[in-house]
Amino acid sequence: MSFSFFPILLLATLCLTLKNGLAQDTELKSTLESAYKHWSIAIENKSPKAWAAAITMYRQVTTRNLIVSQGSIFPKAVFETTISPAETSNLRLLEAQAVGDTAHLLYFGKVNVGGEMADIPDNLLMLKFFRDKGQWKFDSNKIIHLRSRPDLQEKLKQGGAPDFLDLPEFNPPGKAPTPPAICSVPQYISGGTIQSIGFETEVQINGFDYYVKDNVLKFFVIGGLNNGANQILLKAKKIDVPKGSDRALELDLFTKPSKPGINGQRVFHYEYTGSGEPSSSRSTWELSMPVTTEMNVIVAE
C-alpha cells in the first residue's frame, strides 16, 4: 500500500503545482495586460496626466530628457508620433513572465502600429514592465522581426511551440534600471557619433552615459552642450578582432544645424591613433562654441 501511495501523492503534488503555476501566470497576464491598456488609453486620449500615471518613472524621465534635448516641448511631443499602440487582442500570447521587479508579455502575429494589416508580416512583440512602488507599470515595447527566420515564422504561424524562451534575451533581467537624473534644457542642442570598431567604449558627457561595442553609435547629447565647462569622459577597452582587421576609435560632437540642409558645426573631436599610452585624468573641457577641441582618452589594453 505504501508503495502505491507515494506515486499518487507525487502525482497530486505535481498537479497542484501545475495548477498553481497556471493560476499565477493567468493573474500576471491579466495584471500586465491591464497596465498596458492604461498606457494605450492615455496615448490615444493624449492625456499627460494619465500617461505619467501609467508608465514607469524610468521611461518618464528618459523620454522627457530625450525630448527636451532635441529642442521639443515636453510632454506635448509624447503625443505627436504617428505610431499607435499595438493592438494585442489579435495576437497569440507566447509567454507572461516576471523575474524580480521586471516582467514581459511576448506575443506573435501581425503587430499593427499604424499600417495596413495586409502589408504587415508576422513578428514577435515584447511588452516590458517594471514594478514601481509595488505596482506593475508599462515601460516599453520591442518588435522582433522574423524576416530572416521564415522557418520559425511558419512554425509559430502553424501554432508550434516556441523553443527560444530560455534564451537570455527572452527573459526579464530581474532588476529595473534606476531612473536617470533630469537634464537641464540645453544651451546648444547637440548630437554625437562614437566610432568604436575593435573597442568596447563608454562615454559620459555632463553626467549622462553612452555605450557602444564594436559598432558606430549616433546619439543626441542629453542636456546638450554648454559654453564653458563640459565634462567628457571616455573609457575604451580593446576587444578581440580578426587578424589583420583595423581598429577605430573616434568621438565627434556637433551642434544642431542653424538651417535645414546644412551640416551641424563640429565642436569636439577625438581620434585614437594607437600610439603611445593615451591616458588623462582631465575630464572637464572648455568648449567655446563652435570651436573644435581635442581630448585625451583612457584605453585599456
Q: Show Cβ contacts of residue 133 under 8 Å, excluding neighbours closer than 6 positions.
A: none
Distances (CA, A) of 265 to 189, 230, 258: 11, 17, 9
In order along the chain (301 residues), what is the average pLDDT of each group of 10 residues?
A: 40 38 74 98 96 97 97 95 88 96 96 79 97 96 95 94 93 96 94 94 93 97 90 88 90 84 83 57 55 51 51
Query: CATH fold of 2-170, please?
Result: Nuclear Transport Factor 2; Chain: A, (3.10.450)
* 222 closest CA partner among 56, 67, 60: 67
* E strand or H helix that includes residue 232: strand 228-238
Q: How far apart are CA 196 and CA 299, in angstroms?
A: 12
Report the pLDDT value the prediction gives residue 275, as an integer from 0 to 100: 56
Report the pLDDT value the prediction gives residue 113, as an integer from 0 to 100: 85
CB atoms under 10 Å from CB of 194, counted, come to 24
Alpha helix positions (H), the chain: 2-45, 48-54, 57-69, 150-157
Q: Show Cβ contacts of residue 14 under 8 Å, excluding neighbours closer than 6 positions.
A: none
In the chain, list all ranges with CATH 3.10.450. Answer: 2-170
Q: How far apart are CA 61 and CA 78, in angstroms?
A: 12
Is this model's pTM higher than 0.85 or not? no
Question: C-alpha cell of 51?
Answer: 500617461
Report the pLDDT value the prediction gives residue 269, as an integer from 0 to 100: 87
CB atoms under 10 Å from CB of 3, counted, come to 6
Q: What DSSP line would sit under 84-143, residue for residue?
A: PPPP-TTSEEEEEEEETTEEEEEEEEE--SSS-GGGPPEEEEEEEEEEETTEEEEEEEEE
